[in-house]
Each structure stands twice: as structure tokens, then as C-alpha cells.
């Protein structure tokens, strides 16, 4: 039987192991997501900060006393140029491979949605890697919708000579002499 609870100090090692499995899953699909050697140390620090924050919530799901899933969420803020500045952000949701497709992810996600609702948050967002077909299908099934596409450009093809003088062509150089007075 699955038991869901607020994450506590004693749960941190198990959550970190779940995160490592999730990070490796992503890293196998896109090298950009490959975790660093000490990535788990940084994640643990981040996790502890979330667990202490009034604006964050971390849940862990147990199966026979063993952590099999976790979710981390927080209230995030947009700049005041928008009408609605506060929104919910699910930063992590991981279910160990052998426990997927059993409703555990949905169970802990629903708990987080209620947590947001109790705080007056009506919009919840999640970032999903384009290469993570499992997560994309999960979130679509839960009625999450695409609203923005984040794009990137790998600029590693640009070769720079260490002694190259950019001179007038350097876009970083100031051309104050050519700028009209205002």
C-alpha cells in the first residue's frame, strides 16, 4: 500500500536517490541533462532549502516503507508587469521505474494541487524536457497544456582565437562616437 507524507529530514537520502535515478533518465536522453559528479550534493542542498520554505512543499510516497516517488513544488513569482504574479511551479516529480504507471505520480501531484489551491494559487506550471516522452504523456493526461516553447542554440561550433582582436566588429564594444545624441 502506498503512503504519501510531507518529506522529513530522514527522507532526504531516499529522495536524493530518486532524484539521481530521474537525472540519469534525463541524461540518457539529452547530454545537456547529464548530472555532474556532485550534482546530488547540490540537489540535496536545494531540497533542504525547499523543505524549510513556507512557499514550497515536498512530498514523498512510500511503498512498504521504501520511498518510491517524490514531488517538489513552490510558489513562484513573475515580475509585477503581469496581472497575476504568483503561480505554482512543480520543480520535480520522480517515480522509480518499477512503480510507474500505478497512479503514484497522480496521487502526489493531486496533493500538491490542493496545497496550491489552499494558498490561492490558480495556475500551476511544470517544465518538461522535450525528450522525456514519459513525462510529457503523464502531464498531458493530467490536463496540463503547452503554452510556451523554450528553444536553445548550441554555439560550440563558433571557434575563437585567443588572441583575436575584435576591433570595430565586436558587438560588445561601445560605439559611443557613432551614437546620435538624445
Interval 49-62 mean pLDDT: 96
* pLDDT of residue 1 exceeding 60: yes
pLDDT in tens, 142-157: 999 998 888 989 898 8
Q: Which residue has the higher pLDDT, 75 or 131?
A: 75
Confirm whether 165 is domain-assigned.
no
Confirm whether 160 is domain-assigned.
no
Q: Tell me which residue of 133, 95, 131, 88 sits closest to 19, measured CA to CA.
A: 95
Q: Tell me which residue of 14, 66, 74 sits closest to 40, measured CA to CA.
A: 14
Residue 140 sits in a domain whose CATH number is 3.40.630.30
Q: What is the pLDDT of residue 181?
A: 72
Confirm whether 49 is domain-assigned.
yes
* pLDDT of residue 170 exceeding 70: no
Q: What's the domain count of the chain?
A: 1
Cell of 115: 496545497
Confirm whether 52 is domain-assigned.
yes
Confirm whether 171 is domain-assigned.
no
Confirm whether 170 is domain-assigned.
no
Chain centroid to CA 118 = 22
Confirm whether 168 is domain-assigned.
no
pLDDT in tens, 12-45: 999 999 999 999 989 898 888 889 899 899 999 9
* pTM, two decimal places: 0.81
The 3-state DSSP class for residue 24 equals helix
Confirm whether 180 is domain-assigned.
no
* pLDDT of residue 5 exceeding 70: yes
**Structural domain that includes position 143:** 2-147
Strands (E), the chain: 2-6, 56-63, 66-77, 86-95, 124-126
* pLDDT of residue 164 exceeding 70: no
Amino acid at each position: 500500500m502506498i503512503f504519501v507524507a510531507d518529506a522529513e529530514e530522514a527522507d532526504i537520502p531516499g529522495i536524493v536517490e530518486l532524484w539521481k535515478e530521474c537525472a540519469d533518465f534525463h541524461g540518457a536522453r539529452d547530454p545537456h541533462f547529464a548530472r555532474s559528479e556532485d550534482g546530488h550534493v547540490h540537489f540535496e542542498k536545494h531540497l533542504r532549502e525547499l523543505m524549510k520554505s513556507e512557499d514550497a512543499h515536498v512530498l514523498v510516497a512510500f511503498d512498504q516503507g521504501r520511498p518510491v516517488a517524490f514531488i517538489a513544488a513552490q510558489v513562484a513569482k513573475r515580475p509585477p508587469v503581469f496581472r497575476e504574479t504568483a503561480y505554482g511551479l512543480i520543480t520535480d516529480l520522480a517515480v522509480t521505474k518499477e512503480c510507474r504507471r500505478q497512479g503514484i505520480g497522480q496521487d502526489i501531484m493531486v496533493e500538491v494541487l490542493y496545497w496550491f489551491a489552499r494558498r490561492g494559487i490558480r495556475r500551476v506550471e511544470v517544465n518538461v524536457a522535450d525528450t522525456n516522452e514519459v513525462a510529457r504523456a503523464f502531464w498531458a493526461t493530467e490536463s496540463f497544456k503547452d503554452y510556451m516553447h523554450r528553444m536553445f542554440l548550441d554555439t560550440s561550433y563558433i571557434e575563437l582565437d585567443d588572441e583575436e582582436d575584435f576591433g570595430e566588429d565586436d558587438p560588445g564594444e561601445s560605439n559611443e562616437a557613432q551614437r546620435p545624441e538624445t
